Amino acid sequence: MKSLKKAGLIKTQPRMLILDIFEAQEKKHLSTNDIYMALQRNKTPLSLGTIYRVVNQFEKSGLIQSHHFSPDNAVYELCAADNHDHMIDIRTGKIVEFHDEIIEKRQKEIAEEYGLDLVDHKFILYGYFN
Ligand SMILES: [Zn+2]
């Protein structure tokens, strides 16, 4: 289990419940609504307000990161050590992760060429899966 303490957060019931949902990994990329529904299914419901607040705290402390794959919906996932990128099916919303050494390397090289001190990157492919 990822440590709340390591992220500088005190253990509270809502934080532990929400972290459990992320770690259950039925789905890796969760919207606040997904979290809400999962908590309902687990019979440990929390209000959307509480979920927003905790997700915000998790993001600020570096426990999770947000993605805006579509303009109207943010999804969140646990920050992983591996640097992966995403493919999105724009019809179904299906998300597939991939990792490519050449892309990683080229991004670093390009940033260097332009004198950019690289701290983060987003590389997303949009299309339709067959
Ligand atoms: Zn991901």
What integer pLDDT is reported at residue 109 of this predicted model?
96
What integer pLDDT is reported at residue 82 of this predicted model?
74
What integer pLDDT is reported at residue 31 of this predicted model?
95
What integer pLDDT is reported at residue 2 of this predicted model?
66
Structure tokens, 38: 């999962």
- Those residues whose beta carbon sits under 5 angstroms from the ion ligand 1 are 77, 97
What is the whole-number distance in angstroms between the Cα of residue 63 and the centre of ligand 1? 14
- Provide the sign of the torsion angle of the four alpha carbons 104, 73, 87, 126, taken in this order: negative
Please give the span between the terminal C-alpha atoms of the chain, in angstroms, as a whole number: 36
pLDDT beneath 50: ranges in the chain:
none
What integer pLDDT is reported at residue 3 of this predicted model?
82
What is the whole-number distance in angstroms between the Cα of residue 96 and the centre of ligand 1? 8
What is the whole-number distance in angstroms between the Cα of residue 77 and the centre of ligand 1? 6
Domains in the chain, CATH or no CATH each: 13-78 (1.10.10.10), 85-127 (3.30.1490.190)
Q: Distance of CA 126 to CAs 28, 29, 34, 76, 110, Å?
A: 18, 16, 22, 18, 22
Instruction: Point out the annotated binding site for Fe cation.
Output: 85, 104, 121
What is the whole-number distance in angstroms between the Cα of residue 52 and the centre of ligand 1? 20
What integer pLDDT is reported at residue 17 of this predicted model?
96
What integer pLDDT is reported at residue 73 of this predicted model?
83
Q: Distance of CA 61 to CAs 7, 69, 83, 130, Å?
A: 6, 22, 18, 38
Q: Distance of CA 116 to CAs 104, 119, 123, Å?
A: 15, 9, 16
What integer pLDDT is reported at residue 71 of this predicted model?
80
Whole-angstrom Cα distance, residue 10 to residue 27? 25
Return the bridge partners of 96, or none.
87
